[in-house]
Amino acid sequence: MKISIQGLTQIYAGGKKALNDVNLEIGDGLFGLLGPNGAGKSTLMRILVTLMEPTSGHITIDHFDLQKNRKEIRRMLGYLPQEFSAFPKIKTWEYLDYIARLSGRSNKNTRSDVVDDMLEKVALFDVRERLANKLSGGMKRRLGIAQALINNPKILIVDEPTTGLDPEERIRFRNILADLGQEERIIILSTHIVGDISSTCHDMALLLGGAVAYKGSPQGLLAKAKGRVFQMEVSDAELQNIKEEYAVISTIPSEHGWTVQVVGEKKGNYRSQAIEPNLEHAYVYFVESAAN
């Protein structure tokens, strides 16, 4: 299965261009869409799930045209939107059972097995009797994944799934997505959190200002930042100058001042050395380069 996006542009009322000539090919497995808030990620997700029509451009999913075959494409989709927190006062299993019925699963016994299997998959079986609106934030996100998967979609689109979660719940959610990525389907993970991409995705795109700034593997993004990430030992007096000259990743107190990690085109005259970049370094490098 393949999603092909060609020349996709979205212009809102007032002339704001949310997407600018986006071209992407997305195949089976976990695909990461990385970018800061306001980069156009959610707009792209809403177009893909047929909630919004683009200003221009063309999208096909296999042999289906997104504009002409909306009903067929909707049957292929599972979607977890960024805002997914309103739940009725019914038990967790009852909520998922209701979603399964809406998805066309009419046989009660078969539906019950599907619901239980899905609750096991997202680690919610032990709280199946708890009211859905009483679940923790992380559990609600996992229930959101369950409702998106209940009809066994060929394409799963997840928008900012780990925002607001504590570290333990974020790791749990990433592991669920990684396991799902082993199955034969497309999973698009849209996020501004670099760790979500680095720990789960083998293919990705970086969206900046509504345009694709990078498409490829996370390792390829790292290679772009090689030789542009530096660690410096600076004094209190030098720290302010560093902040004015570079994009600062981290500052850690040291015996004689500060140990600072920065990204930039040259290391300057400070006591510094080039270090191996991680994906966060590479992300900041691209964002800063686009801003300048």
pLDDT in tens, 120-160: 988 899 999 999 989 988 888 889 889 988 888 999 999 88
Pairing of strands 211-216, 229-234: unpaired
Question: Tokens 């859905």 label which residue?
Answer: 132
Question: Please, what sign has the CA dihedral across residues 48, 50, 56, 58?
Answer: positive
Percent of residues, the chain, with pLDDT higher than 90 = 51
Measure CA of the first residue to CA of the last residue in the chain; give whole Å: 38
Q: What digits encode the pLDDT tens for the residues 36-61?
A: 888 999 999 999 999 999 999 999 99
pLDDT-based confidence at 271, cuts 50/70/90? Answer: confident
* Amino acid identity at 82: Q
Tokens representing 173?
Answer: 């959610």
pLDDT (tens digit per residue) in 187-221: 999 998 888 888 788 899 999 999 999 999 999 99
Mean pLDDT of the chain: 89
pLDDT at position 66:
94
Give 2's pLDDT tier (boundaries 50, 70, 90): very high
Where is pLDDT greater, at 104 or 146?
Answer: 146
* Domain-wise residue ranges, the chain: 2-218, 227-275
pLDDT at 86 > cutoff 80: no
| Highest CATH level, class, for 2-218 | alpha beta
What's the pLDDT band for 19 if we cut at 50, 70, 90?
very high
- Residue 200: count of CB within 10 angstroms of its CB: 25
Supply the pLDDT for residue 292. Answer: 67
Count of Cβ atoms closer than 10 Å to residue 198 Cβ: 20
Per-residue pLDDT tens for 216-244?
999 999 998 899 999 999 998 889 888 88
Share of the chain above pLDDT 70, in %: 98
pLDDT band at 95 (very low <50, low <70, confident <90, very high): very high
Strand 247-254 versus strand 56-61 pairing type: unpaired
Record the pTM.
0.86
The DSSP H or E segment spanning 165 is none
What is the rounded average pLDDT of the residues 159-185? Answer: 84
The confidence score (pLDDT) of residue 83 equals: 76
